[in-house]
Amino acid sequence: MTAAQTLRVTLKLATSLDGRIALANGQSKWITGPEARRQVHRMRADHDAILTGIGTVLADDPQLTARLDGVASGDQPQRVVLDSQLRMPTDAAMLEGPPVWVFHVAAAPAGLGAAELIQTEADADGRASFEAVIQTLQERGVQSLIIEAGAEIAGSAIRSGLVTHIEWFRAPMLIGAEGRACIAGLGLEELALAPTFQRISVRACGADLWETYQRG
């Protein structure tokens, strides 16, 4: 796919040391510290678009904006939501401000506030195809995308082979196997098939560790 050659796709992860994004009951605020969260806002401002899934919207009701001094409303990244069955609440915080692009596979209702509904192909599980979404974003002029989502979308992104970079913030805590993983299953049966990334930097970020990886 040509999108892989021209679109920078960054997967942002914020986890415990053992790669968990939340407790088993869903509690996740805040695993990483304020310094890491400030860096994430800078990353958002540096990308054309930011993508999440409907699960994150329903759980956290995020704004998905770059909340930094000097970043005007017109300079915000385009917000993108994968919402296959159009479960977005009409009072979601993301529906405030510029139109959100909502990718879906179900039949669209009359409308969803200021959202722009974009019907796309379904994958084998009936969800919005990550590859098709990336292709559409590329056609719409998006050159850099940051993904802030749960394990299922992170897994779909990795499986697609289109993720070019990973920005990983690790907090100095352990949650254990009952916690929620940061990436869903990849269906691997051989280590040789595991996606590989080259670590290009490691630095302290407050109490957390910030690692940057590039696709190998």
Digit-coded pLDDT (tens) for 25-71? 877 778 999 999 999 999 999 999 999 999 999 988 998 999 875 55
Q: Tell if the pTM clears 0.95, that is, is over it.
A: no
124: number of Cβ within 10 Å: 6
Q: For the chain, how many structural domains are there in total? A: 1
Interval 147-199: pLDDT, tens: 999 999 999 999 999 999 999 999 999 999 999 999 999 999 999 999 999 99
142: number of Cβ within 10 Å: 23
Sign of the C-alpha dihedral, residues 16, 26, 183, 99? negative
Closest CA to 96 of 109, 80, 116, 113: 113
The CATH number of residue 85's host domain is: 3.40.430.10
Domain hosting residue 41, numbered range: 3-215
% of the chain surpassing 90 pLDDT: 76
- The span from the CA of 43 to the CA of 166, in Å, is 12
Checking if the pLDDT of 14 tops 60, the result is yes
